[in-house]
Amino acid sequence: MSATVKMHGMDGSLVKPDWPPLALAEVRLLLRQFPALGDAQRILSVSPRPFSAAGVIATSNGRIFVKRHHRSVRDAEGLHEEHRFLAHLLASGARVPRVFASASGETAVEIGEWTYEVHGMPEGVDLYEDAISWTPFRSAAHAHSAGQALARLHLATREFDAPRRKPRPLVAGFTIFAGGNPEAELERYLTARPTLADHAEVRRCAREALDLLAPFHAELLPLLPALPPLWTHNDLHASNLFWNSFTENAQATSIIDFGLADRANAVHDLAQAIERNIVEWLVLVQDPAHPQNVPVHFDHLDALLAGYDSVRPLSEEEAAALAPMTALCHAEFALSEADYYLGVLHSEENARLAYDGYLAGHARWFRRLEAGGALLTALRRWAETRICQPQGERA
């Protein structure tokens, strides 16, 4: 099986996986620590997503989902940050996967250079199993339901008051633009990640992005006090949802994959959902000379926002903050991704795509009026129009 396994590459192509796929013997050894789950019988599917190795496993007691991380990416302490969040969400009635504990009570198991976690299967079907991040919803109905699912998640997470995560690769936090001095916060961010701090091209692109994004930070700054801290998912792409059918009118049933979660705010999370689903960034990767040709799915944007607002109506300040936050929200994860490729995989090629193509490239796109400017204008108009509507009409 491993010879045919492919993963999603950064440019949208299918490539050889960075990490060896799960092997049945390996899973059987792991599940000895989880006797209640039964014996591993077969690997039913292998996830094509990068950053880890994962798959659905048939056991003698049913199906489970096993995920393996390199310890330089997620050690047990790092996974416990995510698992405490998931436990809170489950206790609050959110539709998220259960994380199983071993016979010794551990939800994160370290074996050699690897860290494992074992999840129950979420409710619903994996409608977007093969979809790559930054590809659109299949219908406006899916976008509307995704907005509702994200809003319900935000209601469930309100009482979770854990601190921000420790510096780790592949976390989509919100620190650089969360206050009045992005330059100082960027320096703190880089200093905590020496691989980035010592890389001249990362610093050059970060400086360029900071300059390009300065007007959006200035727009967001007076609204920041109205954005209360909240632990958020930070990667709500359609592929991180399960659905109740394979139809165009399918409704989201569960949210999965909390690997990028951190303490941010609801607007940041909603902006990430817009960034992940509404803009086809892979077109920009393939043709950076023509940023105006990047598709933006405005009908899906309207549906996503209507769905969210029908469950958790945004305040006027939150609605006004959404446009600048959409321009800013990906910057931190782009740096985190560069840190992963430079410090863990030692791939300068992929790192360059993260710090130049994603960090600086997206910032350039948002400053172009005929490209990102059109998306931000639509978000500002939505916020202005929404102020004039009674809450009962926001759906």
For the chain, domains (ranges, CATH) are 2-120 (3.30.200.20), 140-393 (3.90.1200.10)
pLDDT tens across 264-294, in order?
Answer: 999 999 999 999 999 999 999 999 999 999 9
319-to-219, 257, 307 alpha-carbon distances in Å: 12, 26, 14
pLDDT of residue 1: 41
pLDDT tens across 77-95, in order?
Answer: 999 999 999 999 999 999 9
In angstroms, rounded to a whole number, what is the distance separating the alpha carbons of residues 242 and 318? 27
The predicted model scores a pTM of 0.95
pLDDT at 129 over 70: yes
What one-character DSSP code corresponds to residue 296?
Answer: B
3-state secondary structure of 244: coil
Q: How far is CA 32 from the centre of its chain?
A: 31
Half-sphere exposure of 105 (CA within 13 A, CB side): 0
Annotate 308-351 with DSSP letters as a single string. HHHHSPPPHHHHHHHHHHHHHTTHHHHHHHHHHHHHTS--HHHH
In angstroms, rounded to a whole number, what is the distance separating the alpha carbons of residues 318 and 325? 10
Percent of the chain beyond pLDDT 90? 91
Alpha-carbon torsion (327, 330, 209, 226), positive or negative: positive
pLDDT at 4 over 80: no
